[in-house]
């Protein structure tokens, strides 16, 4: 179980680093989210496939208060700064970051900022 959550932590951490916001404060927000969801996941092992997306959303919410919107869309041409959101929104396997502005899947969770991101 703990190992599973380490994978979750690593995926979200990769996106934080890829977007240049992985300061010590932000990493501790991630640690908090992971430890809360670890408890949740232990109560409901069948919910494991939801955890990656939920932790990402927890971190996104926490960052909104501390830093601002995250992660920002870098794919759209227009100047209207907007964030990406995890889909499926209510959790599920294989979470992806989606630009709701253009309706495009930008990258899988843990895959932000890579050149393989689809346009």
CA gap 8, 101 in Å, rounded: 26
In this structure, the number of other CB atoms found within 10 A of the CB of residue 30 comes to 21
Q: Hey, which residues between 25 and 64 contact Zn ion (CB under 5 A)?
A: none
Any contact of residue 99 with Zn ion (CB under 5 A)? yes
Candidates 1-9, 23-31, 68-76, 90-98; binding stretch for Zn ion (CB under 5 A) = 68-76
Any contact of residue 87 with Zn ion (CB under 5 A)? no
Minimum CB separation of residue 75 from Zn ion in Å reads 5
| Among 73, 86, 107, 109, contact with Zn ion (rule: CB under 5 A) | 73
107 beta partners? 97
In the block, residue with structure tokens 């991101």: 117
Candidates 15-23, 73-81, 87-95, 107-115; binding stretch for Zn ion (CB under 5 A) = 73-81
Which residues of the chain form contacts with Zn ion (CB under 5 A)? 73, 76, 99, 101-102
């Amino acid at each position: 179980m703990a190992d599973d959550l380490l994978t979750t932590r690593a995926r979200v951490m990769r996106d934080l680093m890829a977007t240049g916001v992985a300061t010590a404060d932000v990493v501790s927000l991630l640690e908090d989210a992971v430890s809360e969801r670890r408890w949740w996941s232990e109560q409901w092992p069948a919910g494991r496939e939801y955890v990656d997306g939920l932790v990402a959303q927890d971190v996104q919410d926490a960052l909104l208060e501390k830093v601002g919107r995250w992660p920002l869309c870098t794919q759209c041409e227009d100047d209207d700064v907007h964030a990406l959101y995890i889909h499926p929104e209510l959790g599920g396997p294989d979470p992806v970051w989606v630009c709701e502005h253009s309706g495009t899947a930008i990258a899988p969770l843990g895959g932000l900022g890579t050149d393989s991101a689809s346009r």
